[in-house]
Amino acid sequence: MAESKVGTSGVVGFMLGTAKTHDERGNIHQAIATYFKLVEDFPGTDEASQAEEQLLSLAQELGEKANVYIAMGIYNRLATPAVVTGVRPGFVLSPMGRSMGKPLLGKVLGPIL
């Protein structure tokens, strides 16, 4: 198998830039998804730390703008062992505890309990 010319640092740097661009353009759901991808798939990197900081900032901002469910979803997902261990849950729950399948919002927020 051929070795990639772009190392991990190049990939995570590109992903962080993409997330910030989505955020700046108001594409909040895409930004959240990309930030979480960094946090979960590349833990321990500077970019993952920056992504976590951005997620916390977004959650606070969204909570202040009355987007409480999205803000709570960010906080809950950051607090789950899946983020800490890198093991992702196999299903998504709605706020009422029912399975939602794989909608975009569910992918972004993960389990909402």
Residue 107: closest CA among 35, 23, 53, 15: 35
- Cα(30)–Cα(23) distance, integer angstroms: 8
* pLDDT per residue of the chain (113 residues) written in tens, 0 to 9: 444 445 677 889 999 999 999 999 999 999 999 999 999 999 989 999 999 999 999 999 999 998 899 999 999 999 876 555 555 444 444 444 443 443 444 444 544 43
- Cα(110)–Cα(34) distance, integer angstroms: 13
Helix (H, G, I), strand (E, B) or coil at 93: strand
Q: Enter the pTM of the model.
A: 0.67
At residue 70, the pLDDT reads: 92
At residue 113, the pLDDT reads: 39
At residue 84, the pLDDT reads: 53
- Residue 33 burial class via C-beta count within 10 angstroms: exposed 0-12, middle 13-18, buried 19 and up: middle
- 51: tokens are 């992504």
At residue 6, the pLDDT reads: 52
Query: Phi and psi of 93, rounded to 5°?
Result: -110, 145
- 26: tokens are 């108001």
